[in-house]
Amino acid sequence: MSREHAISSGKIHLNLARLKKAGKNFEVDVDPDLALNYRAGKGVDIRDVVKAQKVFEDVKKGLLASESVMMQAFNTSNALEVAAIIIKEGEIQLTAEHREKMREVKRKHLINIIHRYGVDPRTNAPHPVTRIENAFADGKVKIDENKSAEEQVKEILRALTPILPIKFETKEIEIHIPSHYASMANGIVKQLSKVLSSNWAPDGSFTGTIEIPGGLEEEFFAKLNKVTHGTVTSRLVRTK
Protein backbone atom coordinates (compact mmCIF):
# COMPACT_ATOMS: atom_id res chain seq x y z
CA MET A 1 0.00 0.00 0.00
CA SER A 2 1.20 3.51 -0.74
CA ARG A 3 2.27 5.59 2.21
CA GLU A 4 2.39 9.31 2.90
CA HIS A 5 5.61 11.24 2.51
CA ALA A 6 5.82 14.60 4.25
CA ILE A 7 6.19 17.68 2.07
CA SER A 8 6.44 21.14 3.56
CA SER A 9 3.31 23.27 3.43
CA GLY A 10 2.95 26.38 1.34
CA LYS A 11 3.23 26.93 -2.37
CA ILE A 12 5.10 24.10 -4.05
CA HIS A 13 7.32 24.63 -7.06
CA LEU A 14 8.25 21.30 -8.59
CA ASN A 15 9.67 20.16 -11.89
CA LEU A 16 8.09 16.77 -12.51
CA ALA A 17 8.43 13.90 -14.93
CA ARG A 18 5.06 12.19 -15.21
CA LEU A 19 3.80 9.02 -16.91
CA LYS A 20 0.49 7.19 -16.87
CA LYS A 21 0.93 3.42 -17.15
CA ALA A 22 -1.27 0.43 -16.32
CA GLY A 23 -4.02 2.83 -15.26
CA LYS A 24 -1.84 4.55 -12.64
CA ASN A 25 -0.06 7.91 -12.50
CA PHE A 26 3.65 7.89 -11.72
CA GLU A 27 5.72 10.98 -10.93
CA VAL A 28 9.30 11.81 -10.02
CA ASP A 29 10.73 15.14 -8.86
CA VAL A 30 13.61 16.04 -11.19
CA ASP A 31 16.26 18.59 -11.97
CA PRO A 32 14.74 20.04 -15.17
CA ASP A 33 17.93 20.65 -17.14
CA LEU A 34 19.40 17.27 -16.29
CA ALA A 35 16.10 15.53 -17.04
CA LEU A 36 15.98 17.05 -20.52
CA ASN A 37 19.63 16.13 -21.11
CA TYR A 38 19.02 12.58 -19.86
CA ARG A 39 16.11 12.14 -22.24
CA ALA A 40 18.27 13.47 -25.07
CA GLY A 41 20.83 10.76 -24.32
CA LYS A 42 23.60 13.09 -23.18
CA GLY A 43 25.15 10.64 -20.73
CA VAL A 44 23.69 12.07 -17.51
CA ASP A 45 23.57 9.80 -14.45
CA ILE A 46 19.95 9.12 -13.45
CA ARG A 47 20.95 9.55 -9.79
CA ASP A 48 21.83 13.16 -10.52
CA VAL A 49 18.55 13.74 -12.36
CA VAL A 50 16.09 12.80 -9.61
CA LYS A 51 15.77 14.94 -6.49
CA ALA A 52 14.98 11.82 -4.43
CA GLN A 53 15.21 8.14 -5.32
CA LYS A 54 11.47 7.73 -4.93
CA VAL A 55 8.55 7.31 -7.30
CA PHE A 56 5.22 8.91 -6.44
CA GLU A 57 1.64 8.48 -7.49
CA ASP A 58 1.19 12.13 -6.47
CA VAL A 59 4.26 14.15 -5.51
CA LYS A 60 2.36 17.13 -4.11
CA LYS A 61 0.35 14.92 -1.78
CA GLY A 62 3.44 12.93 -0.90
CA LEU A 63 1.78 9.71 -2.02
CA LEU A 64 4.44 7.14 -2.89
CA ALA A 65 3.95 4.41 -5.47
CA SER A 66 4.16 0.97 -3.88
CA GLU A 67 6.66 -1.63 -5.01
CA SER A 68 3.83 -3.92 -6.11
CA VAL A 69 2.25 -1.19 -8.26
CA MET A 70 5.61 -0.37 -9.87
CA MET A 71 6.27 -4.05 -10.52
CA GLN A 72 2.89 -4.43 -12.19
CA ALA A 73 3.42 -1.40 -14.44
CA PHE A 74 7.16 -1.54 -15.14
CA ASN A 75 8.22 -5.12 -14.33
CA THR A 76 10.62 -3.70 -11.76
CA SER A 77 10.29 -2.16 -8.33
CA ASN A 78 13.66 -0.40 -8.51
CA ALA A 79 12.89 3.30 -8.12
CA LEU A 80 15.79 4.48 -10.30
CA GLU A 81 14.89 2.10 -13.12
CA VAL A 82 11.27 3.24 -12.97
CA ALA A 83 12.34 6.91 -12.85
CA ALA A 84 14.45 6.39 -15.96
CA ILE A 85 11.45 5.01 -17.86
CA ILE A 86 9.22 7.86 -16.67
CA ILE A 87 11.72 10.50 -17.81
CA LYS A 88 12.31 8.86 -21.19
CA GLU A 89 8.70 8.02 -22.04
CA GLY A 90 6.66 10.50 -20.03
CA GLU A 91 6.04 14.23 -19.91
CA ILE A 92 8.54 16.54 -18.25
CA GLN A 93 6.53 19.27 -16.55
CA LEU A 94 8.46 22.44 -15.80
CA THR A 95 7.68 25.28 -13.44
CA ALA A 96 6.75 28.65 -14.94
CA GLU A 97 10.04 30.04 -13.63
CA HIS A 98 12.07 27.37 -15.41
CA ARG A 99 10.14 27.75 -18.66
CA GLU A 100 10.88 31.49 -18.55
CA LYS A 101 14.56 30.72 -17.95
CA MET A 102 14.61 28.43 -21.00
CA ARG A 103 12.89 31.07 -23.14
CA GLU A 104 15.46 33.68 -22.11
CA VAL A 105 18.36 31.37 -23.03
CA LYS A 106 16.78 30.71 -26.44
CA ARG A 107 16.05 34.43 -26.94
CA LYS A 108 19.73 35.26 -26.48
CA HIS A 109 20.73 32.42 -28.81
CA LEU A 110 18.29 33.62 -31.48
CA ILE A 111 19.57 37.19 -31.21
CA ASN A 112 23.13 35.90 -31.61
CA ILE A 113 22.18 33.87 -34.71
CA ILE A 114 20.49 36.88 -36.30
CA HIS A 115 23.44 39.13 -35.44
CA ARG A 116 25.94 36.66 -36.93
CA TYR A 117 24.10 35.70 -40.10
CA GLY A 118 21.75 38.61 -40.72
CA VAL A 119 22.50 41.89 -42.43
CA ASP A 120 20.47 44.97 -43.27
CA PRO A 121 19.65 44.52 -47.00
CA ARG A 122 19.70 48.31 -47.43
CA THR A 123 23.32 48.63 -46.31
CA ASN A 124 24.63 45.03 -46.19
CA ALA A 125 25.87 45.86 -42.70
CA PRO A 126 25.07 43.74 -39.64
CA HIS A 127 22.38 44.90 -37.24
CA PRO A 128 23.74 45.80 -33.77
CA VAL A 129 22.62 43.45 -30.99
CA THR A 130 20.72 46.26 -29.24
CA ARG A 131 18.70 46.96 -32.39
CA ILE A 132 17.76 43.29 -32.67
CA GLU A 133 16.80 43.17 -28.98
CA ASN A 134 14.56 46.21 -29.44
CA ALA A 135 12.91 44.59 -32.46
CA PHE A 136 12.17 41.49 -30.38
CA ALA A 137 10.48 43.71 -27.79
CA ASP A 138 8.59 45.88 -30.31
CA GLY A 139 7.41 42.84 -32.25
CA LYS A 140 6.38 41.04 -29.05
CA VAL A 141 8.18 37.98 -30.38
CA LYS A 142 7.05 34.75 -28.74
CA ILE A 143 9.67 32.09 -28.14
CA ASP A 144 8.82 28.42 -27.72
CA GLU A 145 10.93 26.88 -24.97
CA ASN A 146 10.23 23.41 -26.37
CA LYS A 147 11.86 24.12 -29.74
CA SER A 148 15.51 24.74 -30.47
CA ALA A 149 16.57 28.23 -31.53
CA GLU A 150 17.44 26.88 -34.99
CA GLU A 151 13.92 25.49 -35.43
CA GLN A 152 12.42 28.90 -34.68
CA VAL A 153 14.65 31.18 -36.75
CA LYS A 154 12.43 31.32 -39.87
CA GLU A 155 9.29 32.03 -37.86
CA ILE A 156 11.07 34.69 -35.80
CA LEU A 157 12.39 36.36 -38.95
CA ARG A 158 8.85 36.59 -40.34
CA ALA A 159 7.79 38.37 -37.15
CA LEU A 160 10.77 40.74 -37.20
CA THR A 161 10.91 41.66 -40.90
CA PRO A 162 8.11 44.30 -40.78
CA ILE A 163 10.06 46.04 -38.01
CA LEU A 164 13.65 45.26 -38.94
CA PRO A 165 14.69 44.45 -42.53
CA ILE A 166 16.93 41.37 -42.36
CA LYS A 167 18.66 39.28 -44.99
CA PHE A 168 20.51 36.09 -44.09
CA GLU A 169 23.67 35.45 -46.08
CA THR A 170 26.94 33.56 -45.99
CA LYS A 171 29.97 34.65 -47.98
CA GLU A 172 32.87 32.76 -49.50
CA ILE A 173 35.91 35.03 -49.62
CA GLU A 174 39.44 34.45 -50.84
CA ILE A 175 42.02 36.13 -48.61
CA HIS A 176 45.77 36.65 -48.84
CA ILE A 177 47.87 37.46 -45.77
CA PRO A 178 51.53 38.45 -46.18
CA SER A 179 54.14 36.19 -44.58
CA HIS A 180 55.08 38.68 -41.86
CA TYR A 181 51.58 38.54 -40.34
CA ALA A 182 50.19 35.17 -41.50
CA SER A 183 50.92 33.20 -38.32
CA MET A 184 49.48 35.89 -36.05
CA ALA A 185 46.36 36.30 -38.19
CA ASN A 186 45.71 32.56 -38.50
CA GLY A 187 43.99 32.43 -35.10
CA ILE A 188 41.47 35.09 -36.14
CA VAL A 189 40.78 33.27 -39.41
CA LYS A 190 40.05 30.00 -37.59
CA GLN A 191 38.03 31.68 -34.83
CA LEU A 192 35.65 33.71 -36.98
CA SER A 193 35.38 31.74 -40.21
CA LYS A 194 35.28 28.28 -41.70
CA VAL A 195 38.40 27.61 -43.77
CA LEU A 196 37.38 25.91 -47.03
CA SER A 197 40.85 25.81 -48.58
CA SER A 198 44.29 26.96 -47.54
CA ASN A 199 47.75 27.28 -49.01
CA TRP A 200 50.91 28.25 -47.19
CA ALA A 201 53.47 29.51 -49.68
CA PRO A 202 57.22 28.84 -49.28
CA ASP A 203 57.68 32.47 -48.23
CA GLY A 204 55.22 31.94 -45.31
CA SER A 205 52.31 33.89 -46.75
CA PHE A 206 48.79 32.49 -46.54
CA THR A 207 46.16 32.27 -49.25
CA GLY A 208 42.84 30.61 -48.58
CA THR A 209 39.11 30.59 -49.16
CA ILE A 210 36.96 31.09 -46.11
CA GLU A 211 33.23 30.97 -45.40
CA ILE A 212 31.82 33.54 -43.02
CA PRO A 213 28.36 34.63 -41.82
CA GLY A 214 27.39 37.95 -43.35
CA GLY A 215 26.97 39.57 -39.96
CA LEU A 216 30.57 38.80 -38.97
CA GLU A 217 32.30 40.11 -42.09
CA GLU A 218 32.84 43.60 -40.69
CA GLU A 219 34.27 42.31 -37.40
CA PHE A 220 36.40 39.72 -39.22
CA PHE A 221 38.17 42.22 -41.44
CA ALA A 222 38.48 44.82 -38.69
CA LYS A 223 40.44 42.32 -36.60
CA LEU A 224 42.49 41.07 -39.56
CA ASN A 225 43.40 44.58 -40.65
CA LYS A 226 44.46 45.47 -37.12
CA VAL A 227 46.83 42.50 -36.92
CA THR A 228 48.15 42.85 -40.49
CA HIS A 229 48.26 46.66 -40.46
CA GLY A 230 45.87 46.72 -43.41
CA THR A 231 47.94 44.47 -45.66
CA VAL A 232 45.40 41.66 -46.00
CA THR A 233 43.77 41.47 -49.43
CA SER A 234 40.49 39.78 -50.27
CA ARG A 235 38.18 38.83 -53.12
CA LEU A 236 34.52 37.87 -52.84
CA VAL A 237 34.00 34.45 -54.41
CA ARG A 238 30.25 34.19 -53.94
CA THR A 239 27.37 35.02 -51.63
CA LYS A 240 24.93 32.33 -50.52
What structural domains does the chain harbor? 16-93 (3.30.1250.10), 96-167 (1.10.10.900), 170-239 (3.30.70.240)
Contact call for residues 206 and 185 (beta carbons, < 8 A): yes
Please give the C-alpha separations between residue 85 and each of 1, 49, 193, in angstroms, as whole numbers. 22, 13, 42
pLDDT in tens, 59-94: 989 999 999 999 999 999 999 999 999 999 999 988
Mean pLDDT over each residue of the chain, to the nearest integer: 91
Contact call for residues 124 and 168 (beta carbons, < 8 A): no
User: Among 28, 20, 100, which Cα is nearest to 60's?
Assistant: 28
pLDDT > 90: percent of the chain: 77
Instruction: Looking at mean pLDDT, say which of 3-7, 36-40, 82-86, 159-163 comes out highest.
Output: 82-86
